[in-house]
Amino acid sequence: MSLELPQQLTKEELAACQRLAEKKSLDEYSLQLLQESYRGRKQQADALMRQLPSLDFNNQEKILDWLCAFVVPCNVVEDLQEVIGIFTSHGYEAGVNAGEAYNGEDKDNVARYIVGQALSSMRDEGFVPQVIEGFMTDWKTKFAS
């Protein structure tokens, strides 16, 4: 039995990895991990980015599902401003409903809080934190239709 090694990255893919590594201040080991997973993550990210403009922004469950699917592949998206801009154009804001504005008993408030945390992290850190998945699971459990 032989192991199938991943295909070599193209020069363009390697350059994209290098730009991401510099932008995110990755060390050599992290750059190597990025290169090993780049192609698969890029395909996932591209598919999600194609879905985003037609996402039903009136359905918070679909929005949260999209964000959860974006957690891993978001790391290979060079310009997260596009994502932030689309969410903003649909009335979502980074950091909304945090602190005293948070109402854990209000379905819309909590959903907007979760999206706002994801947008803040994309803007400030360059990724969607995995904790979003747990927030979404809790939201679905509490506010199941």
pLDDT, tens only, 60-99: 999 999 999 999 999 899 889 999 999 999 999 999 999 9
Q: What is the pLDDT of residues 55-69, one digit of tens each?
A: 999 999 999 999 999
Statement: the pTM of the whole predicted model exceeds 0.85: yes
**Would you say 133 and 144 are in contact if contact means Cβ atoms under 8 Å apart?**
no
Give the Cα separation of 75 and 56 in Å (integer): 24
The alpha carbons of the chain give a radius of gyration, in whole angstroms, of 17
Give 133's Cβ-side CA count (13 Å radius).
7
